[in-house]
Structures are given as C-alpha cells and as structure tokens.
Amino acid sequence: MARLLTSCAAGLILIPAISYADDTQIRFQLDWRFEGPSAPFLMAAEKGYFAEEGLDVQIDSGSGSAGAINRVASGAYEMGFGDLNALVEFLAENPDGPGIQGVYIVYDGTPAAVFARKDRGIESPADLAGKTIAAPTFDTGYRAWGVFAAANNLDADAVEWQNVDPTLRETLLTRGDVDAITGFYFTSLLNLEERGMSEDELTIMPFPDYGVPLYGNAIITSESFAEENPEAVQGFLRAFNRALGDTIADPEAAIEYVKNRDGLIDVEMETRRLKLALDGVVDTPEVRENGVGGVDDERLSQAIQLVADAYDLTSIPSPDQVFSSNYLPAQEERMLFPAEGE
C-alpha cells in the first residue's frame, strides 16, 4: 500500500471502450488504489461489458470510503464503491442531504481485522485490554471497534488508540511501536508480510469470525441518479456481476486488467490480495445460499443499529435509505458460487 503510483498518481483512468453519443456517462469512484479487488470493475470496462449495456464508464482510484461517498453525494460521481457502514454514518450525519444508497453488496462481510503481535501475549480479544492499537481515523476497524468489543465481552475503552497515517500503520506494528493494528484483512496482512512479519508471528482476528455481522463494501449511487437512470444502474450492475463471475472463475486472468491500468503493480501480490478478498468476504455461506449482491433485511437492520451505537449516531437511517435491491440482476444470475454441500 505504501508504494507510489506514477502513471495513475492522479487517480484518473479513462477506460478505452466502444462508446456512442447516446451512451449514458457514469463516473465511478473506487474506494482505494488500483489493486486486486478492483479487478472486476476494470475488467467490465476493458472487456466492453459496460459498453454492451450502453454505458460509457470512467473509473477513478480513490483514497477511502468516506471520500467515495462524499464525491457521489456531491454529484462529482454518479456511482462509487464504499463501505456500507461509512454510508450509514454519512446518512445519519446528513439527514437532509442527498440520498445515497447501496445497490450491490460486494463484500458480504466487513474485511476489518485486528492484527496483534503474539510476542505481546495476545491470543484472544481479552488479551487486547491495556494494549495500544494503531489505525487511521477512517479505518473501519477503528470506527466499528465498539461492535467488535461488545461481541467479545471487552470494554471498548480498555485499549489505547493511536491514530496514524495509513502508510505508517503496518510499519509501527513490525517495529514493535504498538501492540496491534486494525485494517482490511487482505491489505494489512500483505503489507505486514512485505515488511518482514510472518503470519506465524501474528494473532489475526477478522471481525466476521469474532461475532461482527456488519456488511462490507457496496456499489453505491445517488437516489436521484438511480431514479432518473434506472436502466443505466441496472446495466452497470449486470456488467459488474458478469465480470465478477469471470473474476471468480479465473483470478489470475482478472489481475491482468489491473496491470493494464497500473503497470507497476506486483502481479503475484495483487493476485493473492484478490483471492484473499474473494475467499474472505465475497464467498460466504449466505452468498452461496442467496447469491451475491443482496442483503438480508434482518441482518441489515441489526447492522445499522450496531453502527449507530458504535459511532454514537444521533439519528438512524432506515434500511430502505441505506440499501435498495431494485436494480439488482435476477437472483439466478447472482449465484456465482455453488451452494453449500454441492
């Protein structure tokens, strides 16, 4: 994550595709840099899946979910990719602002995880009491710490937080300056290994494995754009869903579309990052039963309440404000993994 992009530093990538004058223009804001998990978006653009839906899509790299949400809310982008929990927070803090909704859940579980040094005697959540944890202020693990703590009978105030720049987070842990960090599983694990720390030296606690039922990242759009361009939103989701299926079938081939956007990536590392994301937060029992993209209404309501409590929100958006299933492809098209037991 610390390496600098050159050709992509400005974050702007114009995807070559067949387009026509009457194609619907969609500016799409990713949550982060062009890395493994962005493969299906870039594939859908380069293979012409968006163009086949009558869409002219421009994909930009990002700098966090909050930025993606704010840029969609401002109208600078029609659609984006961001953490659903950050969206709940945005809607709560802007009750009279522009409506922004998730329309396709990509990460069925939050990728947030705790990475702790075993040599500090940390083997379980209880061992984090009295320890120092580092994270950026926007990090999902930091923001949703109260949910993790409550799920594991840990006083949320029992740890000391050190808010740091994301480029320093893993370095602080490897140097032993802090006892633990929070970060996306498929990001921090690879960053730590890159800095010389092996998985055997770590106690890793993915939030979903420790009782946290939050959703992760979703494709988002403004209510106004979706209402005015329902076919465009549906077409975008069909194209993405198609590319996600291709990505699941052949992750190695999918990474080539990331490399085409940023020739400086480490192909082996980004392939592993993509596989970690797919295996960890995309391929879940719920997804195998119901398909990718959608939500369970009861779970979504619970997640919103948990976020409201953890973030100390003064207003709570309704599930319908947070997510709309109106634009999803048919369920049979979203069954991208075999059902459990098959």
Confidence (pTM): 0.91
**If you average pLDDT over every residue of the chain, what do you get?**
93
Would you kindly state where each structural domain of the chain is located, as residue ranges?
A: 12-109+215-334, 112-210
For the stretch 179-192, pLDDT in tens is: 999 999 999 999 99
Topology of the domain covering 112-210: D-Maltodextrin-Binding Protein; domain 2 (3.40.190)
The DSSP-derived string for 119-152 is GGT--SGGGGTT-EEEE-TT-HHHHTHHHHHHHT
Q: Do residues 81 and 189 make contact, with C-beta atoms less than 8 angstroms apart?
A: no
For the stretch 218-266, pLDDT in tens is: 999 999 999 999 999 999 999 999 999 999 999 999 999 999 999 999 9
For the stretch 18-37, pLDDT in tens is: 444 579 999 999 999 999 99
pLDDT under 70 in the chain at which residues?
1-21, 340-342
Q: In the Cβ-directed half-sphere of 30, how many Cα atoms lie within 13 Å?
A: 22
Residue 155's SS3 state is coil
Topology of the domain covering 12-109+215-334: D-Maltodextrin-Binding Protein; domain 2 (3.40.190)
Q: Do domains 12-109+215-334 and 112-210 have the same CATH topology?
A: yes
Structure tokens at 163: 């808010």
